[in-house]
Chain A
Amino acid sequence: MNDIVSLSQVAKRYTRGKESVEVLHSLDLKIAQGDFVALMGPSGSGKTTLLNLIGGLDRPSDGDVTVAGERIDRLSGAALARWRARHVGFIFQFYNLMPMLSAQANVELPLLLTSLSAAQRRQNAQTALKIVGLDDRARHKPNELSGGQQQRVAIARALVADPTLLVCDEPTGDLDRKTADEVLGLLQTLNREHGKTIVMVTHDPKAAEYARRQLHMDKGTLVPGNTP
């Protein structure tokens, strides 16, 4: 399979005052198209930083980041935003839905960045909501939905523009076990039946079991030999 994510000698440093802290050290990583990778590790191990680099939300201090065939570490801010719109669907721990918009309008948001007509946007959003099983909740606002339903809306929003990659940051961190399993099952279906490449950060070993592959991080590096 083709590699959809390729990181080579990636380092990330943050400067706080006069002090420079390196949170990722000379990291190499490849993720194939259609893979479902769970990134695990203790707090502060650098897994969210790595996820942000893969998703084009952050830039490396050193090294190359190639995702979906593009050297995204070289893109300008505006070009990176356009690239994200085209290639990445984000799923966050706290859903990050727009509270004033209906589920349907939330799902339509990424499509506003495309050239689709309003009718096409509406139709695609309805299809995405159907995939996550919430087509009957399209008119509800986030505060009228349960946590699990909100995360399903967020998944529909991530899917709707048919991105190359789904990037999930603790997608079940705010959900109970049963709801978490439903959401993870949905992600697994998206990966297995729709061929979506998924990179997911999680603390939860049970959540990680839904992935095809688990990568463990510690102190800014990938722990070797721990990737089944």
Chain B
Amino acid sequence: MFKQTLAITAMNLKAIPQRLGTSSVIVIGIAGVVAVLVSVLAMATGFHKTVASSGRPDRAIVLRGGSQAEINSSISRDNALTILDAPGVRKDASGKPLGCAELVTIVNLPKISDGNESNVTLRGSCGQLLALRPNLKIIAGRMFQPAVREMIVGDGATRQFKGLSVGGHLSFRDSDWNVVGIFSSDGDAHESELIADADTVQSAFRRTGFQSVTTLLDAASSFDAFKDALTTNPTLTVDVKREPEYYAAQSQRLTAMLNFVAYFVGGIMAVGAMFGALNTMYSAVSARAREIATLRAIGFGAGPVVFSVFTESLLLALMGSAIGALLAWLFFNGNAVSTLGANFSQIVFRLTVTPGLIIAGVCLGLFIGLLGGLFPAIRSARLPVVDALRAS
């Protein structure tokens, strides 16, 4: 049976050059489906990875009770001090708590791609910033100084927005700012931000309070004690979350939407590709009716003929899947794009084509090939041998 299947399949494959046009329908159709599916899922994966990598388990973020994101939170200066003094917060060598009360505001900057202005987060932070977020590294220029209108800008933001080079000047409302440094933070969400001294941002934007307090804890296990201390404090009404949980929640909605788009659009395309595959394989069986009948007459069984049609369909589908996945990887993997994040500002992230996504794409391609080959394979087995032998 195996020998027969192998022989017939080899014959079918050798005949593909004679049916290049129809065979390419399967390959191109499935390549398109896989390319779209993988690239949209790469977007979801990249976004989720960017946002999720922004947190670490021994860091906590405190927002006003009931706030979903920093943009709709508010924390007074007094409350911020109380939070930073809570048990479980790590202290530096001088005994100062490692944490920052931060505020975020939205500023507009022109995009490099089309010149249109988009929202960018300007974060007011504190002098403990680099100790609080050790992954944040100044890669050009220097750190901002307090009490002057200086800012450092994320490396991701520099690739998306104009004017974000060291020495550049930015004007927001009635304040002018100097870009003094560029930072990277391993591609996390902060890399899309501009960061300056919190008091200076408050002064420039006529704000008084903060919106979040982020603290580095003694250890990840200190979180419960820290949280209990804050949530049982009658002077505070706050939500306390581990950073990974907070950022996972931030990415959930967009990731779910992108997954939906990937599977919905990919699904519609898959149905189209499946009919293309059906048509191609029906044509292949029809074109080879006499050859199939001859093999059956010689003594080849129906099983090997069916398997050979299936195998051909699957091999063409595999070829299409591989091309689609390769195209997605070549054209999209690592591409930086931006979208609106939870703070209504742009988050820059890189499309990430993972091995898992490639496997998922190839599996879908093979599934299409399987369905596309099923009915033609059944037809090949039911071919009336006597009639097909005399077909011209």
Contacts and interface: CB of A to CB of B under 8 A. Distances in A.
Given A94-B392, A100-B11, A100-B14, A81 B296 contact: yes
A101 B14 contact: yes
Given A90-B297, A94-B392, A96-B290, A77 B302 contact: yes
Contacts of A57: 297, 385-386, 389
Interface in B187-204: none
A92 interface: yes
Interface stretch (A3-11, A107-115, A218-226): A107-115
Contacts of A86: 299
A57 B299 CA distance: 10
B11 A113 contact: no
Interface string B24-41: 000000000000000000
B4 A81 contact: no
Interface string A72-108: 0000011001111110001011101011110000000
A146 to B, nearest CB: 19
A112 B392 contact: no
B300 interface: yes
Contact of B301 (A52, A78, A100): A78
How many chain B residues sit at the interface, stated as a range, is 20 to 34
B11 A98 contact: yes
A84 B298 contact: yes
Query: Secondary structure of the B side of the interface?
Result: helix
Contacts of B291: 96, 98-99
Contacts of B14: 100-101
B302 to A, nearest CB: 7
User: 9 closest A-B pairs (Cβ-Cβ)?
Assistant: A85-B299, A100-B14, A96-B294, A84-B299, A100-B15, A112-B7, A113-B299, A81-B299, A90-B297
Interface of B: 3-4, 7, 11, 14-15, 18, 290-291, 293-302, 385-386, 389-390, 392
26 contacts: A55-B297, A57-B386, A78-B302, A81-B296, A81-B301, A82-B301, A83-B299, A84-B298, A84-B299, A85-B298, A85-B300, A90-B294, A90-B297, A96-B291, A96-B293, A96-B389, A98-B291, A99-B18, A99-B291, A100-B11, A100-B15, A109-B7, A110-B299, A112-B300, A113-B298, A113-B300
Given A81-B301, A90-B294, A98-B291, 7 more contacts: A57-B386, A83-B299, A84-B299, A92-B294, A100-B14, A109-B7, A110-B298
